[in-house]
Amino acid sequence: MAQAHHPIAATVLGLIGTICWCIQLIPQIVRNYRSKSTEGLPGSMMFLWGVSGVPFGVYALLQNLNIPLQVQPQIFMVLSLTAWGQCLHYSHSFSSLHAILLSSGLLAVLGGLEAVLVLFLPRSTAALTTVGVVAAVLLAAGLLPPYREIVKRRGRVVGIDWVFLMVDWAGAFFSLMSLVAQEEFDVLAGVMYIACLCLESGIFACGVVWWVRHRGRKGDVDLEGVGEGEVEGKEEKAV
């Protein structure tokens, strides 16, 4: 059911969450550019997040969530596809021009699809529920590839900027609190934010566990700056 009224607290909390999600991927994008590498950052994560902006945006608009939460998916989509273009360029050897054309072209297609759905999607409960479920699944699915990378590296988190992850977590938290402050809690939107919080907390936990296990070797091994083989080789020598 669409929201009829937006309390001030809900709008303020939604604005904080949206500000976080307006800037959350910027540290990651800057890091990728400076290092000229996206090793450890799955392109599939950025692609799924970019695509999730369509059902996420359609749901927020049709449900008439507070204005900041309606704007949020559009910015999220742009930043995600920008990072996806970097993954194409740095990890898959696409030229800069091809990466820009592909990410920009996909953005245009997704933006057009969102506009069509907003204009012509039936306002039935079933249709809105389907859109909300698809958005939640895509958003959560985007956070699964990093776990595959973590398993490959035996628990080490590589390539993911911690500032990005913290700001993204904060954005999901304040957006969830914005829904709590609404007169009626939107369950599907809440599920999207809760899934994001839980999965990102898991990535944080993996990073903390790795740091605790290897903090004694911090002076000998730059855990962020070398490849897995180098770390294993140095550990074997130490033994």
What's the predicted TM-score (pTM) here?
A: 0.83
Residue pair 175/18 in contact by the 8 Å Cβ criterion: yes
Residue 141, CB half-sphere, CA atoms under 13 Å: how many? 14
pLDDT digits (tens, 9 = 90+) for 68-112: 889 989 999 999 999 999 999 999 999 999 999 999 999 999 999
pLDDT digits (tens, 9 = 90+) for 173-208: 999 999 999 888 988 889 989 999 999 999 999 999
Query: What pLDDT score does 221 carry?
Result: 37
Evaluate if residue 227 carries a pLDDT over 80. no
Q: CB-based burial of residue 188 (10 Å sphere; 0-12 exposed, 13-18 middle, 19+ buried)?
A: middle
